[in-house]
Amino acid sequence: MASPPRTQKPDPLGAGLRLLARPNVLAGLSSALLAVLFSVLFSVNSQAQTSQTPPLPRTQITRLEQACNFLAAEKPTDFVLENACARHLETIGQMLRHSTWRDECERNILPGLENLGSYYEQTPGSSEIGVDKLLFLPLGRGHFLIALACSQGAYNTDYLVFTYEDRPHPAQPKLLWFPEIQYSGNHVRLHYTARLTLRDFDARTHSLYHYAKYLGNGSGGNYAEYVIDAKTFMPRLKVWISKADTDHQGNYQFKRGQRPHAKGWQAYPHPAQGKLGAIDQRSKQPFSTHPKIESLPDVPE
């Protein structure tokens, strides 16, 4: 009796080797493998470039022609903070020129924020803008205040103060409003102002010092100290001292650590430190808890 024919077991490995032995198949497969390899390498390289650790926020910004300007970059990760800072200043300039502050601030004081490159080309190697007209005041961890000169008189230079976060995509700039005390006789009331006669800044305590002189000899004016919250940017009024009469007595010239204390100067401390006086009771909370942060109108496209 004849035995049934034997069935051949499948040999996938041998079949694959025989298929690869064909010249046209091997060439096509090699091209495909190379294409896949180059694709993987390109993807890894791109991810390595885009996943690089972002630059650390800066602790100080002084030489603006390099630290806060539009700079050409070969890689996406180059100069991200410098360019972002320049965009932030450009936005502030555009916002001011499309708001009521356009008329409030003298145009000869405002620097050319819309085109920082041209501005620096006009003053090569100069940091004049970073000395008087535009100051970056550090609060730590990449948080800054930007003090921008608004108007200038014989005795005082008034500043507008904006927020800034030193990162590749900084938050929209905000304008700070500062509480101040206005009084007439025994009536005292809370008021807010965005114009600060900035005399000094203490980076250690995050304190802003305001002193507006009514007369050159300092016999009248108002003095204030504000402490800025480094996280929220909120200002807190620490002390307000003022003298309405310019009688050429009790003269005071600003010096950090020395407050006006001569006869005629009246101090209004924080309520926790003493009696505040006849503060307008329409403000139901202590004046030091009423800071404001404002967004200026959107810039038209």
pLDDT tens digit string along 21-61?
566 645 555 665 555 545 545 554 545 444 567 788 999 98
Q: Does residue 13 surpass a pLDDT of 90?
A: no
- Two tokens at 94? 């555009």
d(CA 158, CA 195): 6
Averaged pLDDT, 287-293: 52
CB 96 within 8 A of CB 296: yes
d(CA 207, CA 84): 26
Whole-number pLDDT of residue 199? 94
Whole-number pLDDT of residue 292? 66
CA distances from 300 to 84, 85, 97, 101, 297 (A): 20, 20, 11, 16, 9
Whole-number pLDDT of residue 104? 82
d(CA 134, CA 64): 9
Query: What is the percentage of the chain residues whose pLDDT exceeds 90?
Result: 37
